[in-house]
Amino acid sequence: MMNYPPVNIDWAYLAEKIERLLDLSDEFLSRKLADEVDVDPQMFRDHVAFRWTHEGLLEAVAYPDIPDSAELLGIDDILLRLRQNTRQFVAGFPANNVLLWGERGTGKSSAVKSLLREFAEQGLRLVELHKDDLYHLPIITRALRSQPFRFILFCDELSFDESETGFRELKALLQGGIEAPPPNVLIYATANRRHLMPERFAERDAEAEIHPEEAVSEKLSLSDRFGITLGFYPINQALYLDIVSHLAARRQLDISPADLEREALQWALLRGARSGRVARQFIDDLSGRLALEQSA
C-alpha cells in the first residue's frame, strides 16, 4: 500500500479564487446580455428617470425620488453652479461632467436628483448607473447617442479599488478614449473621497516603485477628468438647526422652537453626526410622533 504525503490546502485562498471566477463569469454573461440591449424611444417620452440593471437593461422608474431643492439648505453656491452647468447642457451648449464629493448625508445625491424638477420638461433624463456596471458604458452611450433627449448618467457613491472593472471605461468616456463622447450624455457622480481611488502611504515610498509619482498620478487622473468638482463639507450646529427649523416650518409642525432645538440636538447626539440627512430623519420621526399623538 502506497503512502501519499499529506496535502496542505489553503481553503480560504481556494474559496477566494472560486468566488473571483464566479464574478468573472457573471461579468462575461452581463456583457453578452448588454450587447443585445434595444432601447424603445417611447420610454423617454413617458418617463424621466431610469436605472441600468445588472442584466444590461434600461428600466424606467415609475416613481422617481425628485427632491425639492428648496429643502437643500447650506449649499446654495453648489446648487447654483450645478444648475448653470445643467442649463448649458439641456440648451445644447458645451457643459462638463461633474463630481460631487465630500461628507456623507450633506445632499450630494439630492442635489443631482433635484435637477429633474427644473429641467425634465426641457428634455433632461436621469439614468442611475451602479459602479459595478460601468463596463456597460460603451453599450449605454451607443443606445443613448441617437435619442433626442439630454441624459445625465448618475453614479452614486462612486469609488474604485485597483482591481475593479469599469475604471478604464469611465476614464475613456470622461476624456481619453478614441470614440468621441456623445454630446447628449454627461456623467454626474457622487463620492465620499475626492480622488475616487485609495492612495496608500506605500505608494509614496521610494522602494515601492521606481517612479512612485506615476502611480499616484494614475489615481488622480480619473477625478481630474471631471470638468467640475464640487465639495460638500461638514455642517456646524447652527446650520444643522437652521435646516431643522426650515423643514419643520415647511411641514407646519406644532412644536415650540425651544423644544424643537432641544430634541434636534439630542437626535444628532445619538446619531453622532450633524448633516442634512440627519436633520431630515429627525423631522420624519418628529412628524410621525406628532401625527400619532394627534390621532389618539
Question: HSE on the CB side for 66, CA within 13 Å?
Answer: 16
Arithmetic mean of pLDDT over the chain = 83
- Cα–Cα dist 197/123, whole Å: 33
Q: For residue 138, what pLDDT is reported?
A: 87
pLDDT at 136 over 90: no
Instruction: Show the cell assigned to 214.
Output: 506615476
Considering all CA atoms of the chain, what is the largest pairwise distance in Å, rounded to the nearest integer? 89
- Cβ proximity of 86 and 176 under 8 Å: no
Higher pLDDT, 152 or 71: 152
CATH architecture type of domain 33-198+212-232: 3-Layer(aba) Sandwich (3.40)
pLDDT at 195 over 80: no
User: Tens digit of pLDDT for each residue in 261-279?
Assistant: 999 999 999 999 899 999 9
pLDDT at 153 over 90: yes
pTM of the model: 0.78
Mean pLDDT, range 45-58, rounded to an integer? 92
Task: Kindly give, in sequence order, each residue whose CB lies less than 8 Å from that of residue 232, ignoring residues fewer than 6 positions away.
Answer: 75, 78, 100, 101, 102, 103, 106, 107, 108
pLDDT at 211 over 70: no
**Residue 16, phi-psi category: left (phi > 0), alpha (psi -120 to 50), beta (remainder):** alpha
Q: For residue 38, what pLDDT is reported?
A: 72
Mean pLDDT, range 45-59, rounded to an integer? 92
Domains of the chain, by residue range, sit at: 33-198+212-232, 237-295
Q: For residue 33, what pLDDT is reported?
A: 47
Q: For residue 27, what pLDDT is reported?
A: 54
pLDDT band at 174 (very low <50, low <70, confident <90, very high): confident
Q: For residue 103, what pLDDT is reported?
A: 87
Mean pLDDT, range 51-58, rounded to an integer? 88
Mean pLDDT, range 2-17, rounded to an integer? 62
pLDDT at 165 over 60: no
Q: For residue 205, what pLDDT is reported?
A: 52
Q: For residue 108, what pLDDT is reported?
A: 94
pLDDT band at 198 (very low <50, low <70, confident <90, very high): low
Torsion sign across C-alpha atoms 126, 131, 136, 137:
positive
